[in-house]
Chains A and B, each alone.
Chain A
Amino acid sequence: MTQEEIRTRVHQFIRKNFLFDEKATLTDDQSLLGSGVVDSTGILELISFLEDTCKIKFEDSELVADNFDTVNRISSFVAHKLA
C-alpha cells in the first residue's frame, strides 16, 4: 500500500466514523485530537483500523500522539512501517 493509498483510506475512515459526513473538511495537517475530531478513546478505534487494514502491529513505544495526530503523520508513519 502506498502512502497515498493509506492517506485516502484514513481520510475515508475518519469521515465515516468520526465526522459522519463524507464531505466534511479535513486537512492533512489538522490535529485530530486538538480539533476535537477524535477523542482519546476514539483514537483506539483508529489504531485498530490501521492494524486491521494494513496488517501491521504497533509496538507500545510507537503509540504516541506524535505518530497519530494528523492524517499526514499517520500515513507517513504507517508507510514507513510497511516499507
Chain B
Amino acid sequence: MCGIAGIVNVADRHEPPSRELLTSMISAIRYRGPDEYGLYRDRRAGLVHARLSLIDLTAGQQPLANEDKSLWIIYNGEIFNYVELRSELLALGHRFRTHSDTEVIVHAYEAWGVRCFARLNGQWALALWDSKAGRLILSRDRIGVRPLYVREERGRVWFASEVKAIFADPSVPRALDPRGLDQTFTYWASLPPVSLFTGIEELAPGSVREYESDGTKHDTLFWRPSYPVAPPDEYPLSLDEATEALAEKLETATRLRVLRADVPVGSYLSGGLDSSVTAWMGRKAKEGVFRTYSIRFEDAEYDETAYQRAMAATIDSDHQELVVRRSDIARVFPDVVRHTERPVLRTAPAPLFLLSRLVRDSGIKAVLTGEGADEMLAGYDIFREAAIRLFWSRQPHSTARPKLFDRLYPYLARSPQQAKGMALQFWKRGLERAGEPGFSHDPRWWTTSQLKRFFSPGLREAIERRPPGGPLDDLPEEFSRWDPLAQAQYVEVVTLLSGYLISSQGDRMLMAHSVEGRFPFLDADVMEFCNGLPARYKLAGLNEKFILKRVARGIVPESIINRPKQPYRAPDAVSFVEPGAPGYVAELLSEESLRDAGMFDVPAARGLYAKCLARAKDPAGEGVFSNADNMGLVGLLSAQLVHHQLVRARGLVDDARIEYKTLIDRAPIQQLSGTA
C-alpha cells in the first residue's frame, strides 16, 4: 500500500519534470507510504513512489522495471493472486528478480498487454511507463479501492493517488468543479471522471487509460458489475450448495489477504455480521495472535460494544477498543476532510480516522474489514425499501402493502401515526416510476438533492450551464434485463460504494495513518460469485443477506446473526454545535468565509447554522436533528473545509526531507532542473 505520483510529457515538447517538483508531490501524500521513497526520471517522465512495505520487505522497492529497464512501474495496492500469475509468467519464460507482486504486474503487462488487468485479483492504482514506446498506462482496480487522479494540459499529464499531490505543483490552478458539487449533493459522491476539482479527473474504477507518444489517449473499461439475465430458476446450485460455495470462496479470499503479507494482518469488528464473518475467517487463516479493533460510542444510540465483545471472545482475539465522543469528531473533522478531499454528508468517517491511528500505534499495518458485503449480498435497507415500493407500486391504492414498512422499520409499528403517515408519504413519491432505472435510489437522491437549496445563485447557474451526468447515463446494455435487486445493487456499487464508502470512509481514513484495508467481500472471485446468485438467495422476502447468515451459522454467535441490522452511524450535526465546539466551525460558517468560497447562499447557510445552534441549546431538542439538518450542516461544513484546505490554502507541501532509497535519474544533465 502506497502513494504514487508522476508527471509525464505524453507529447514530447516539454522540459522533463523537475526532481524538486516530483519530491513535493510525493511529500504531500507521504503518510500513504512512510517506509521508503523512490524516484524515476528520464527525458519525458518522472515517477515517484512512497512505500508502505507489506510484501517482500527487502526487495520490493519502486519504481521497478522489467529486464531491460525500459518499462517502469509505480503502484499502490496488492495483487492477491500474484503467486499464481508469477508461475504462469515463469512458464512463459519471464525472469524475476524479486518476490514482489509489483514485478508480476510488469511482466503480466509485457505478456498480455492491457488485457492483463482483467487477470489481476486485487486492489490497485498504478502507472506503467514504457520509455521505449513513449506510452503511459494508468489503471485502477474493479471497485476503485485505490484512488487515482489525473490532470492533462497541452501534452503533459499529472497523476497521483490524491489530488493534493497534483496541487503540490504551484502551476496547477485550483477550483471546485460545480459538477462535482452537484453530484455530491445528489449521489453522496462525485462520479468518475468528474471529481471535486476543475480540470482534475478521477480515473474510473475497473478501467485502463493509455496515452500514446503522439499524445492521443484511449480508455478501456475492463470490468463493471454484471448480473445474470437468465430466468432465476435456472441457477444450477441449490441454496445449500451455494452457501457452501460462498463460504469456501470467502475463506480463500480472506486467507489470501492474511497470508499474502509479510507483516501481521488484523481485523476491524463493527459488531455486525460482515466483519464478524471476516474476522472469524481471518483468525482461522493463521496461527498466533490475531488482533481486532472496534469503535465504541459514548452516545448509546450508536454503540455496539456488546456484539463486538461477543465476537472477539468467540475468536479469542487480542481486542482493542476506542471510545469516540462527539468532541472527538468535531476536533478531528478538519483532518478527516483533508484526507477525504471531498465533502461528506455524515461524520461517519471521523471515528474510522481515529481507529486507524489506534491500529498503527499498535504496530499493525493492514486490516481486514467487512466492507462490500452489504452491496454484494443485499444488506442495506435501500434494497428492502425498493422491494416494498415495487410491490406497493403494483397496487398503489393498497393500504395493506405499505404495512410491510413496519417489518422493515419495527419502530414504525410502535410509532404514533405521525411518523408513520409521514414516512409513507415519503416512500410513495415516485411510485409510478417502478421499473425505471434508478427507482430504488430515487428516495435517497431526491432527499439529498433538497440540500441544493443551500447552493448560491452563482453555483446554480454554473450547474445549469453545464449539468453533470449521473450514474444512469451510461448503464450496461443488459441492465434492464437484470432482476430489480441486481439493478439496485449495480447503482449502489457505482455510486456509494466506490465514491464514498470505500474511499472517504475506507482508503482515505486508513491511509491517513498508513494502514492498508483488505476487503474479502471485494475479492474478484467473491464478487463474481455473489453477482451470479439469484436475487432470492440474497434478499429472501425481506430477509437481507440471507445466504451470508447461513454461512455465519455455527461460526458467529446467534445474537449477532439475528440482531436487526444497525447502520453504522456517528453523531452528526450535534458534534459541531454543542457548547465548547471548536472555533473553526463558526469561522468557516461565518458570512465572510461563506462569501469567499461562494458555494452557498449566505443567509440560508447562516440560517441553518443558527437553527442547529439553537437546537443544541434547547433542552427538549438537544441532539435531535432532522435528517435534512444533519446532512445539511455536515455537508456545508465539509465543503467549506475542502475549499479552505485545498483551494485556498498555500503551502500544502510538507517540506520534511525525503530521502530516496531508489533513485534512477536518466534526465539529460543539461536539463537537470532542481535537486531533491
Bits for B83-119, please: 1 = Cβ < 8 Å to A, else 0. 0000000000000000000000000000000000000
B631 CB to closest chain A CB, in angstroms?
10
Q: Knowing A19-B453, A21-B603 touch, does A40 contact B419 (C-beta < 8 A)?
A: yes
Cβ 8 A contact of A45, one of B416, B453, B604, B626 = B626
Cα A64 to Cα B416 in complex, Å, equals: 9
Produce 1/0 per residue, A64-78, CB < 8 A to B.
111011000000000
B454 interfacial by beta-carbon distance below 8 Å? yes
Selected A-B contacts with CB under 8 Å, 15 pairs? A20-B603, A36-B449, A39-B628, A40-B422, A41-B625, A42-B627, A42-B629, A44-B419, A45-B626, A62-B417, A63-B417, A63-B421, A64-B421, A65-B422, A68-B422
- CA–CA, A21 to B604, complex, Å? 6
Is the beta-carbon distance between B425 and A69 smaller than 8 angstroms?
yes
Closest to A22 in B: B603
Alpha-carbon distance A65/B423, docked complex (angstroms): 9
Report the interface size for chain A: residues with CB under 8 A from the other chain.
29
Q: Nearest-CB distance from A70 to chain B (Å)? A: 12
Please report the C-alpha to C-alpha distance between residue A34 and residue B604 in the assembled complex, in whole angstroms: 21
| B421-437 interface code vs A (CB 8 A; 1 in, 0 out) | 11111100100000000
The A/B interface has a contact count, at CB < 8 Å, of: 80
B170 in the interface (beta carbon within 8 A) = no
**Residue B585 interfacial (CB < 8 Å):** no
Q: Is B450 an interface residue (CB 8 A)?
A: yes
In the complex, the answer to whether B426 meets A40 with C-beta atoms within 8 Å is yes
A19 to chain B, nearest CB (A): 7
Output the nearest chain B residue to A43 by Cβ-Cβ distance.
B422
Chain B neighbourhood of A68, CB < 8 A: 422
Interfacial chain B residues near A43, Cβ < 8 Å = 418, 422
User: How far apart are B595's CB and chain A's nearest CB, in angstroms?
Assistant: 16
Q: Give Cα A21–Cα B457 distance, bound, in whole angstroms.
A: 13
CA A44 to CA B235, docked complex, whole Å: 47
A36 touching B604 by the CB < 8 A rule?
no
Q: Which residue of A lies closest to B429 (CB)?
A: A34
**Residues in A neighbouring B601, C-beta threshold 8 A:** 20-21
Set of chain A residues within 8 Å of B411, measured between Cβ atoms: none
Q: How many residues of B contact A (CB 8 A)?
A: 32
The A interface is mostly helix, strand or loop, or mixed, namely: helix
Closest to A34 in B: B429
B542 interfacial contact with A, CB 8 Å: no
Is B223 close to A, CB under 8 A?
A: no
Q: Complex Cα distance A48/B619, Å?
A: 13
**Closest CB-CB distance, A74 to chain B, in whole Å?**
13
A residues near B, CB below 8 A? 16-22, 33-34, 36, 39-45, 47-48, 58, 60-66, 68-69
Which one of B418, B605, B611, B627 contacts A63 once the chains associate, using CB atoms below 8 Å? Answer: B418
List the A side residues contacting B416 at CB < 8 Å: 60, 63
Residues of chain A within 8 A of B421, CB atoms compared = 63-66
**B628, A61: Cβ atoms closer than 8 Å:** no
CB pair A39–B425 under 8 Å, yes or no, is: no
Q: Are B607 and A16 in contact (CB under 8 A)?
A: yes
A65 CA / B611 CA spacing, docked (Å): 24
Do B447 and A20 have beta carbons less than 8 Å apart?
no
- Bitwise, B573-613 to A at CB < 8 A (1) or not (0) is 00000000000000000000000000001011111100100
* Residues of A contacting B454 in the complex (Cβ-Cβ under 8 angstroms): 20
**How far, in whole Å, are A60 and B453 apart by their CA atoms in the complex?**
32
Given A16-B607, A39-B450, A41-B627: A47 and B429 interface contact (C-beta under 8 Å): no
Report which of B424, B447, B603, B620 forms a contact with A65, defined as CB distance below 8 A. Answer: B424
Report yes or no: A20 in contact with B425, Cβ–Cβ below 8 A: no
Which of B421, B422, B601 gathers the greatest number of chain A CB atoms within 10 Å? B422
B446 at the interface (CB under 8 A from A): yes
Asked if A39 meets B417 with Cβ closer than 8 Å, knowing A34-B429, A65-B424, the reply is: no
Residues of chain A within 8 A of B605, CB atoms compared: 20
A65 / chain B contacts, CB cutoff of 8 Å: 421-422, 424-425
Query: Is the CB–CB distance between B629 and A60 below 8 Å?
Result: no
Residues on B with C-beta less than 8 A from A34 are: 425, 429
B260 CB, nearest partner CB in chain A, Å: 46
Partner of B607 from A21, A40, A45, A64 at Cβ < 8 Å: A21
In the assembled complex, the CB of A61 is this many whole angstroms from the nearest CB of chain B, namely 6
Q: A64–B422 Cα gap in the complex (Å)?
A: 7
The distance from the CB of A11 to the nearest CB of chain B, in whole angstroms, is 15
B447 touches A60 (CB 8 A): no
Residue of B421, B621, B625 with most chain A CB atoms under a 10 A cut-off: B421
Q: Complex: how many Å from CA A28 to CA B601?
A: 25
Partner of A60, one of B418, B424, B606: B418
For residue B423, which residue of chain A has the nearest CB? A40
CB closest residue in chain A, given B618: A48
Q: Is the CB of B424 within 8 A of A17?
A: no
Q: How far is the CA of A43 from the CA of B572 in the complex (A)?
A: 19
